[in-house]
Amino acid sequence: MDEQIHRLSCYVENKPGVLARIVGLITGRGYNIQTLNVGPTEDGTVSRMRIDVLGTDRVVEQIILQLRNQVNVIEVTSRRM
Amino acid sequence: MNGDKKRTGARALVESLEKADVDMLFGYPGGQALDIFNCLTDAKFPFVLGRHEQGCVHMADGYARSTGKPGVCLVTSGPGATNTITGLATANIDGIPLVVITGQVPLALIGTDAFQEADTTGIARGVSKHCFLVQSADEIPETVAEAFYIATHGKPGPVVIDIPKNCQQGLTDAQYPERVSLRAYHPESAATTAQLHRMAKMVNEAKRPVIYAGGGVIASGAAKDVAALARRAGIPVATTLMGLGSFDERDPLSLRMAGMHGTPAANWAMNEADLIVALGVRFSDRVTGKISKYAPKAKIIHVDCDPAAIGKNVSAALGIVADVKDVLTTVLSRVKQAAHPEWIAKIDGWKSSHPVSWTQMHENVIMPQAVMESIDRATKGRAVVVTDVGQHQMWAAQHFRYSLPRHFLTSGGMGTMGFGIPAAIGAAFARPDHKTVAVCGDGGAQMTFEEVVVAVEHKLPVTFVIINNGCLGMVRQWQELFYGKNYSGSILTVKGRCGNERLEQDLDYDYLPDFVKLAQAHGAEAYRVIDPAKLDATIARAVKSKRTTLVEVIVEPRANVYPMIPAGRPVSEMVFK
Ligand SMILES: Cc1ncc(C[n+]2csc(CCOP(=O)(O)OP(=O)(O)O)c2C)c(N)n1
Ligand SMILES: [Mg+2]
């Protein structure tokens, strides 16, 4: 299966450790994050993360499911770039 | 604010644990946890002092596996916290609910390389379900409530609460919340009517169905519901290692365990099935073998509470993210009574041509499999069996007949040597109504033997059986089969050691340590048995004793675990000897 860049948009609670957990979940599987952007949303208790990661559809889908399982993750969407 | 209600964070923690219904705390003290320890002496729950933090976590884990309630553990910062990592990983992969509280250096010192400072939440993150680093005493009650909620909802798992010393000492009037509501974590999910309808239809139309039950069945308390479905629709049941006890192995519909060391009947049935009803499993590579050849003729219904488990390793025709028990109770009435006589006859043929069996390699030597049968007889099939990891673990899985959930406790996903002794102690604390027997290898027993004193000092009538084959048997087996019999690093007796270890070969006693003396030094009653004729009597005597007992059984060192499907190979490559 072909590897492709997927852009993940994650809305997460703005709490310590959340960024590390999310990044760790991706890098811990040996996948390289190409771009990472974190910023506030209008609701100051929620941050938005934009993560570009190279992987097959199957792997990225698995990553998304695991991200959604995280206690501080509110929502994850993705699109292929 | 009501000034009278103020107490230290440490006191608030202990109160919160009481509110969370903790009835036993395992742990080990140290500088950054002393404020908490200071409050334990008048806590409502007893404290159990382990002898190594890994042991403490495995005890809490054994407690959790045998009851379904979260196990709780308290340790200090730095080395105390890092010693919990193996225990956390073990619980995490098997989905066992734990709350592990670690002391931490004061917030102001974090990041300064203070004495016994370690980035506990950073280290624990990858091996836990969630971690909290507490920022103030006020957060403690709510954090405890959230930790218990997270540990027990969705797929259970271990949660770490790291509490800096200044937060333990700070004053707070924060109260334990009545209920927990987490903004982002809502793991409850139920099957839709359409899914239940489709599931029933697939079951009703199947000609060669198999139920494949895992640890999730036990976690959701659905063993009776699995039996109800199996009987109603005439479906044979295979289990995973973690699912042993989720279906009575004495039932004619039982195929027993599937996978690398599973029964031929279970593996062949999955291979021939046209429908696999997978309940609370994650299709581990130890079961599927070569994934592209797994269950080639079957449609798969996969029910699990973890959305990430579905479609992870095999793709399911129908995936249902929901509690297994909820699904089974609602689907049952839609399932038709059925029998599948041809299919059952075929399976019965496999069962009788390839029964669970073993061969005596020599006279006058105890075969390890015989030890399992002997323990099963002596405990009338009702013991809580806790294993370590290796060949003995697989023999324990194969040669007991499990009939009840939470009666086979093993480190399935992590395969953690050293789990057996402390987990058995945790289980013995939790289930005084049942006899607990630990089955350990001579290798793994040496990893956490220090915990035996905990059983002795609490007068736990647990029996530790050491299957002494003088080697790291499972490693030795792989080297025999796949590495040209080059027994590098796997032999524990001096005489069998490889030359590169440069040992003098002139010891009188080849088997070290002497487990009987070791157990006696720890205060336990101990026996050694070498003669097959004395096996049953020795085991019976040990399991009947009211004291903590250990039996060292010297067994045939060259025995291998069969049948075996080599890692990553298809069912067709199963070997029998
Ligand atoms: C902590 C840990 N280290 C290494 C291993 C790899 N390993 C798996 S089984 C095994 C041998 C276990 O030997 P023993 O405890 O004597 O049990 P036996 O296989 O002989 O029954 C080893 C080393 C492991 N599972 N866990
Ligand atoms: Mg051994």
- Residues A50-75: pLDDT tens digits? 999 999 998 899 999 999 999 999 99
For residue B223, give both structure tokens.
């063993």
Check CB contact under 8 Å for A65 and B307. yes
* Amino acid letter, residue B567: A
Check CB contact under 8 Å for A69 and B183. no
β-strand partners of B276: B210, B300
- CA of B446, closest atom in ligand 1: 15
CA distance, residue B43 to nearest chain A CA (Å): 30
Minimum CA distance residue for ligand 1 atom 9: B390
* Amino acid letter, residue B198: R
Q: Among partner residues A17, A66, A74, which is closest to B184 by beta-carbon distance?
A: A74
Around Cβ B382, how many Cβ atoms within 10 Å?
11
Whether B444 is in the pocket of ligand 1, judged by its Cβ within 6 Å, is yes
- Ordered by start, the domain boundaries in chain B are 3-172, 193-353, 368-554
Check CB contact under 8 Å for B185 and A72. yes
Asked whether the whole model's pTM tops 0.90, one would answer yes
- Given CB atoms, is A16 within the 8 Å cutoff of chain B? yes
HEC string of chain A equals CCCEEEEEEEEEECCCCHHHHHHHHHHCCCCCEEEEEEEECCCCCEEEEEEEEEECHHHHHHHHHHHHHCCCEEEEEEEEC
Whether B417 is in the pocket of ligand 1, judged by its Cβ within 6 Å, is yes
User: How far apart, in whole angstroms, are the C-alpha atoms of residue B116 and residue B69?
Assistant: 31
Q: Among partner residues B122, B150, B312, which is closest to A71 by beta-carbon distance?
A: B150
Interface test with B, best of A62, A69, A75 (most B CBs within 10 A): A69
pLDDT for A1 equals 67
Query: Please, what is the Cα angle at A71 between A13 and B313, to 5 degrees?
Result: 130
B414 alpha carbon, distance to own chain's centre: 9
CATH 3.40.50.300 correct for B193-353: no
Is there a catalytic annotation at residue B283? no
Q: pLDDT per residue over A19-47, tens digit each? A: 999 999 998 888 889 999 999 999 999 99
Of the candidates B570, B56, B7, the one whose C-alpha atom is nearest the C-alpha of residue B291 is B570
Minimum CA distance residue for ligand 1 atom 5: B417
Burial B510-546 (b: 16+ CB within 10 A, else e): ebebebbebbeebebbbbbbeebeebbebbebbbeee
pLDDT for B577 equals 87
Check CB contact under 8 Å for B183 and A28. no
User: How far apart, in whole angstroms, are the C-alpha atoms of residue B12 and residue B18?
Assistant: 10
The answer to whether ipTM exceeds 0.85 is yes
Q: pLDDT per residue over B238-265, tens digit each? A: 999 999 999 999 999 999 999 999 999 9
pLDDT for B309 equals 93
Q: In chain B, what residues touch A62 (CB-CB under 8 Å)?
A: 308, 312
Q: Among partner residues B125, B183, B187, which is closest to A13 by beta-carbon distance?
A: B183
Exposed/middle/buried for B139, CB within 10 Å: 0-12, 13-18, 19+? buried
Q: How long is chain A?
A: 81
Exposed/middle/buried for B492, CB within 10 Å: 0-12, 13-18, 19+? buried
Q: In chain A, what residues touch B184 (CB-CB under 8 Å)?
A: 12-13, 70-74
* Amino acid letter, residue B390: G
- Ordered by start, the domain boundaries in chain A are 4-80
Is there a catalytic annotation at residue B373? no
β-pairing, B98-104 with B71-75?
A: parallel
- CA of B440, closest atom in ligand 1: 15
Check CB contact under 8 Å for A69 and B312. no
Q: pLDDT per residue over B286-340, tens digit each? A: 999 999 999 999 999 999 999 999 988 999 999 999 999 999 999 999 999 999 9
- Chain A's closest residue to B308, CA to CA, is A65
Find the helix or strand (DSSP H, E) in which B245 lies: none
Check CB contact under 8 Å for A69 and B182. no
pLDDT for B571 equals 94
Q: Is B320 helix (H, G, I), strand (E, B) or coil?
A: strand
User: How far apart, in whole angstroms, are the C-alpha atoms of residue B185 and residue B535?
Assistant: 53
Catalytic residue selected from B24, B26, B32, B53? B53
Of the candidates B111, B379, B408, the one whose C-alpha atom is nearest the C-alpha of residue B245 is B408
HEC string of B65-92 equals HHHCCCEEEEECCCHHHHCCHHHHHHHH
Pocket test for ligand 1, best of B464, B475, B552 (most atoms within 8 A of CB): B475
β-pairing, A46-55 with A4-13?
A: antiparallel
Q: Where are the alpha helices (DSSP H) in B306-367?
A: 324-331, 341-353
Q: In chain A, what residues touch B126 (CB-CB under 8 Å)?
A: 24, 28
Check CB contact under 8 Å for A71 and B184. yes
- DSSP for B432-447, please give it: TTS-EEEEEEHHHHTT
Whether B83 is in the pocket of ligand 1, judged by its Cβ within 6 Å, is no
Of the candidates B419, B528, B397, the one whose C-alpha atom is nearest the C-alpha of residue B465 is B528
CA distance, residue A10 to nearest chain B CA (Å): 12
* Amino acid letter, residue A53: V
**Cβ(A55)–Cβ(A3) under 8 Å?**
yes
- Chain A's closest residue to B132, CA to CA, is A17
User: How far apart, in whole angstroms, are the C-alpha atoms of residue B39 and residue B26?
Assistant: 15
Whether B474 is in the pocket of ligand 1, judged by its Cβ within 6 Å, is yes
CA distance, residue B133 to nearest chain A CA (Å): 8
Minimum CA distance residue for ligand 1 atom 3: B417
> Would residue B568 be called left, alpha or beta, if left means φ above 0 and alpha means ψ between -120 and 50 degrees?
left
Q: In chain A, what residues touch B308 (CB-CB under 8 Å)?
A: 62, 65-66, 68-69
**Cβ(B158)–Cβ(B98) under 8 Å?**
yes
Interface test with B, best of A11, A65, A71 (most B CBs within 10 A): A71
Check CB contact under 8 Å for A65 and B125. no
- Given CB atoms, is A14 within the 8 Å cutoff of chain B? no
- DSSP for B11-39, please give it: HHHHHHHHHTT---EEE---GGGHHHHHH
User: How far apart, in whole angstroms, are the C-alpha atoms of residue B268 and residue B291?
Assistant: 15
Q: In chain A, what residues touch B312 (CB-CB under 8 Å)?
A: 62, 65
CATH topology assigned to domain B3-172: Rossmann fold (3.40.50)
Question: How far apart are the CA of B472 and the centre of ligand 1, in A?
Answer: 6
Is there a catalytic annotation at residue B132? no
Long-range contacts of B247-250 (CB under 8 A, 24+ apart): B247/B211, B247/B213, B247/B223, B248/B402, B248/B403, B248/B404, B249/B401, B249/B402, B249/B403, B250/B401, B250/B403
pLDDT for A2 equals 84
User: How far apart, in whole angstroms, are the C-alpha atoms of residue B28 and residue B103?
Assistant: 11
User: How far apart, in whole angstroms, are the C-alpha atoms of residue B532 and residue B194?
Assistant: 58
Is there a catalytic annotation at residue B188? no
CA distance, residue B333 to nearest chain A CA (Å): 32
Please tell me the CATH code under which domain A4-80 is placed. Answer: 3.30.70.260
**Cβ(B103)–Cβ(B36) under 8 Å?**
yes
Give the CATH H-level superfamily of domain B368-554: Thiamin diphosphate (ThDP)-binding fold, Pyr/PP domains (3.40.50.970)
Minimum CA distance residue for ligand 1 atom 8: B390
Is there a catalytic annotation at residue B53? yes
Check CB contact under 8 Å for B125 and A62. no
User: How far apart, in whole angstroms, are the C-alpha atoms of residue B4 and residue B510?
Assistant: 67
Burial B294-328 (b: 16+ CB within 10 A, else e): bbeebbbbbbbbbbbbbbbbbebebbbbbbbbbbb
Helices (H) and strands (E) in chain B — how many of each?
23, 20
Question: How far apart are the CA of B392 and the centre of ligand 2, in A?
Answer: 8
* Spans of chain B below 50 pLDDT: 1
Whether B412 is in the pocket of ligand 1, judged by its Cβ within 6 Å, is no
pLDDT for B506 equals 67
Instruction: Give Dmax (Cα) for chain A.
Output: 40
For residue B459, give both structure tokens.
């007068």
Exposed/middle/buried for B450, CB within 10 Å: 0-12, 13-18, 19+? middle
